[in-house]
Structure 1
Amino acid sequence: MEIALYIVLAISQVGLLVYYFLYNRRKKQKESERRSALTKEFPYETLRGIALNTNPGAMLATIPQGETAVYSAVMDWDMGNDIVTLITTITGEATLYVKSGGGIIGSGKYPSVSSAAQHFTSATQAHLSHATPVTNAPLPQRNCVQFFLLTNNGKFSGTDLLTNIENKTSLWLPLFEEANKVIAEMRATATV
């Protein structure tokens, strides 16, 4: 009788393990399909390209002739297995794209995100002297962080190694920190 009970328990445990593995496999497959659908519907490169080529429109209507003003800032962060792109504007808009799919769009409607986005975009103005004028905007190299400063006088860029950011020797560290404040605010509002 005891042997039969142990056999029943062993079979039920094996059944539960099989169910658990099949359930997780289906769950991972559904998540992969969801990411794939999002990537097809909203391809990262297309959305990033649109952001990097936006027309400032009325954002720069009050800039005096001869001055250069940043109206949008973009940070591309190579995280090793993925790339994260943060886009902000001087008006407080903020968007985050992840190359593998997904992101956060439209969070500038939250006052905390809008304020952080405006502060980050304004802070980039002080880094124009470190930036180089560019006409194209390739993805960052491996283990690099790059910034694009969109101005009324064209696009500027600056790049540094992630190790220089981490060891606090990068000229771009203040912008990286400000960008991460925007991301933190975006994440906080995404869970609301």
Structure 2
Amino acid sequence: MGQTHDWASQVDVEHLERIRRAPALFAPGGVGHLILEVVAYAEEEAAANGGGRCSITLHADGSVTVSDNGRGTATVVDRQGQVVKKPVMVSRDLRFFDAPDAPCLADGHPRRGISVVAALSEWLVHTNRRDNGSWTQRYEHALPITDLVPIEADGTTGTTVQFRPAEAVRAMGTVKVDELLWSPQLSVEVNDLR
């Protein structure tokens, strides 16, 4: 698979603002579409690794947590020795965003990338566990408000994204668990705590 994001663009403010101005276009149907955008990355990991697991928790406060057991978000060490992560939350997915032939998610709408989730959420926490280090980072209204905060390794790998969709997205409708569909390679557990 080729390059998915521009590593030089750590925060693409113009891209994020474009999404925030058009929630109905980028999250058709509401929160369910945002969940599918996150799960699409877990599906890719599962397909590349011969299977995988994902859990989705719908919380009483309107937030959602999606966790998978993939490899975690890619990171590199820059020339100053600082860990830099692939800017998946705050830049365009070069494969899908604005692509006329972007694949559709299970809801029948085009895949745009996980930056749509960050842009259309009040807050988002991205937790990453990789063989070469684990960390978490918080975003508010799509912008990172913390650096990468190291967390203790627990012997697992994977990505957890917890987010609270913006009111405009929540107002588009409630998530119906039975309408969320998955790929055959990904085993999904849904915990509805609403």
Q: Which has the higher strand share?
A: 2
Shared fold, TM over 0.5: no
Higher-Rg structure is: 1
Q: Which has the higher helix share?
A: 1
Normalized against structure 2, the TM-score is what? 0.29
Higher relative contact order (CA 8 A, sep 6+): 2
